[in-house]
Amino acid sequence: QKPDAAACLRDLFLTDPLDDRKALKRKKGQRARGTCEWIMGAEELTHWLGSGRTGCSEGPSTQVLWLHGNPGTGKSTTAIFLTEELSKAFTTTTQKTVAYFFCDSGFDTRRTATSVVRGLLLQLVQQQPQLLDYVLPKYNERGPALFDSFDALWAIFMNVAADKHTGEKYCVVDALDECDRESQATLLQQLKETFQGQHAPPNVRILVTSRPYPEIRQHLGDFANKDLASYPEAKRDM
């Protein structure tokens, strides 16, 4: 029996990151004109985007960028601005796709490791429908239960991300510390395992924002990272 793409997308769906971003934006209030715009020129970000000058040959360290800061340093506002800017800049013709997820401890659908990966995966396949080819065979085999397994989801996510015909994928995960403890540990361990070392999957870059908790630093501290409050422009924005 041929797997049904519409049913697969329906079962993959848990929360719409676009709606979540709109709601978060409403809650945060209108961004003051001119604020956040400096982030697009920040050295760490241009390296992450692959457009900055980097001293060494581009290694896996630039594939993951961790922006951290205490409450009130503008992490989510920066993530909202960044994802909006990249959505405008990337079209299917640029061979670049952006996906994002805004974690929130107040919602069951937004605080688990599986929900983060489901949200990112959903956006990637919505924008590049041919990527469903990586999902459908497994979905046909297992049905909706597929989307409850973190390991199965991560494997599909990495295959989708590494697909060379659909270009670079840029994934932004905001407020990772809002996930439950177990989910944080799962995601952090997986990021470290996947992107540290010689065999990091090509074509995918991940940006994480969070509070600077030691257990997060333990996993992401070896990747490119920056305290948002250390940017002079961020201080002006606050």
Q: Within a 10 A sphere around the Cβ of 127, how many other Cβ atoms?
A: 17
Q: Which CATH number fits domain 5-237: 3.40.50.170, 3.40.47.10, 3.40.50.300, 3.40.190.10?
A: 3.40.50.300
- Tokens of residue 150, six digits: 């973190």
For all residues of the chain together, what is the average pLDDT?
89
Report how far apart the first and last C-alpha atoms of the chain are (Å, whole number): 56
The domain segmentation of the chain, as residue ranges, is 5-237
Whether residue 67 contacts residue 229, with contact meaning beta carbons closer than 8 Å, is answered with no
**Span 2-18, mean pLDDT?**
92
pTM for this one? 0.91
- d(CA 49, CA 58) in angstroms, rounded, equals 11
- Report pLDDT digits (tens) over 136-172: 999 999 999 999 999 999 999 999 999 999 999 999 9
Structural contact between residues 102 and 19, judged by C-beta atoms closer than 8 angstroms: no
> Would you place residue 60 in the very low, low, confident or very high pLDDT band (cuts 50, 70, 90)?
very low
Closest C-alpha to 170, from 21, 46, 29, 25: 46
